[in-house]
Chains A and B, each alone.
Chain A
Amino acid sequence: MEAAPASGQDRARGSDEDDRLLARIAAGEQAALVRFMERHGRGLRHFAARYLDSREDAEDVAQDVFVAVWKHAGRFDPNRARATTWLYRIAANRCKDLRRWRRLRAFIGLEDLHELLPADEIDAEAATGARQELARVRAGLRQLPERQRMALLLRAVADLDVPTIAEVMGATVGSVEQLLVRARRALRDRAADADDNKKAMERTSL
């Protein structure tokens, strides 16, 4: 077995399986939906959780997306798009709707936007010091503008290429490239700042 990154041919194989599964889902086969969820549920949840900054909302989005897949699998046309593109487009739209809804609720005072992902996750990580880098990246993701965050998560978590991300986000390839460059730069700057702070603290403690 080889650890080579997925080639276009390998991705096509995975995509073929998704296409077949969607055809079976469209025919009303629940086992195919279960298999489809096994393949994509985890990635979708991670994407939604980090984009929305809320585990519960991510669960809801994942459920909504797969229910939509069940209802509308017949509309999927493998000649027009890859299954993952279609799936993540549904997820991205659902996430955007949810964010808008949350903003409205925050505006009328029904929700506090800062109470979403549990703070203990960050504190625990910071306290143990074992996974500080990941904690820093999470915090950095949280502070990225929405579109940059979505582009980066679609690239890193969903493993979509730039043209597919552009299709999912309804943007041009150039603008997605820009979003990715900015997002990565912001995360690197943040990491560099954290390193500088750490060194400064070490110097002062000596």
Chain B
Amino acid sequence: MNRDAFERLQRRFGSNITAWPAPYRQEANVFLKGERETGDVNDDEDLDRIVREAAATPGDERALTREVLKRIKPKRSPIFAVGGIAGAWRVPAVATSFSVVLVAAAVLGYMLAGSGAEALDDALLSFAAGEPIPQFLADISGNMRGAL
């Protein structure tokens, strides 16, 4: 740390360096203590200080802030809130009610279609059996007219 960096941090965290966050506080203490002595590392504190210096890695802190803010930005809810409906299926009572309504609607629809449904089934079966397309379309339209 040099004088410029120290003063920059002072502006950022205030004049009381003892309340600075750990890495800055430690670096400031080392800076204020003056040039560190070289030689054998006998004291735990000296060794920890060297470990702290050795642990320093370059990095862009603004980039970290930017990325984190990007990740926590609330996502816009989609126009069709499918997610909300899907979430409701997790509640057993809701899932059961929806299932009952769906089954009832299917049964009711089949009953209302009546004989038309059978005719449509026949047309589809004949198409599956390989009847020519025009014949198949005629069958469908005939069946639909019959059903209505």
Q: Show the binding face of A for B, using Cβ within 8 Å.
A: 1-7, 10-11, 13-14, 17, 30, 33-34, 37-43, 45-47, 49-50, 55, 58-59, 62-63, 66-67, 70-71, 84, 133-135, 137-138, 141, 152-153, 155-159, 180, 184, 187-188, 191
Q: Evaluate contact between A33 and B72: CB separation under 8 angstroms.
A: yes
Which of B28-36, B82-90, B115-123, B138-146 lies at the interface with chain A?
Answer: B28-36
Contact B68 A37, beta carbon cutoff 8 Å: yes
In the complex, what residues of B have CB within 8 A of residue A30's CB?
69, 72
Interface residues of B in 1-53 (CB under 8 A from A): 12-13, 15-26, 28-29, 32-33, 38, 41, 44, 47-53
Chain A interface main SS type: helix
Give the residues in chain A near B44, CB-CB below 8 Å.
180, 184
Contacts of B20 in A (CB 8 A): 14
Known: A152-B51, A156-B55. A1 touches B68 (CB 8 A): no
Contacts known (A1-B15, A137-B50); A43 close to B71, Cβ less than 8 A: no
Q: Tell me, yes or no, whether B93 is within 8 Å of chain A by CB.
A: no
List residues of B (50-67) whose CB comes within 8 Å of A's CBs.
Answer: 50-57, 59, 61, 63-65, 67
Given A3-B32, A42-B23, A46-B56: A34 touches B49 (CB 8 Å cut-off): no
Contacts of B32 in A (CB 8 A): 1, 3
Please tell me if the beta carbons of B64 and A134 are within 8 angstroms of each other in the complex. no
Q: How many contacts between A and B, using CB within 8 angstroms?
A: 140
Q: Could you tell me if A141 and B51 are in contact, using CB atoms closer than 8 angstroms? A: yes
Q: Which residue of chain A is the closest to B28 with respect to CB atoms? A: A3
Count of chain B residues near A, Cβ 8 A = 42
Chain B residues in the interface with A (C-beta under 8 A): 12-13, 15-26, 28-29, 32-33, 38, 41, 44, 47-57, 59, 61, 63-65, 67-69, 71-72
Chain B residues near A158: list those with CB within 8 A. 22
Which chain B positions have C-beta within 8 A of A11? 18
Which listed residue (A10, A37, A43, A152) contacts B19, Cβ 8 A? A10
Contact A141 B59 (CB under 8 A): no
Complex CA–CA separation, A84 to B48 (angstroms): 19
In the bound complex, how far is the Cα of B48 from the Cα of A138, in angstroms?
Answer: 12
Question: What separation, in Å, do the CA atoms of A137 and B52 have in the docked complex?
Answer: 10
Chain A: CB-nearest residue to B31: A3
CA distance A157 to B67 in the complex (A): 23
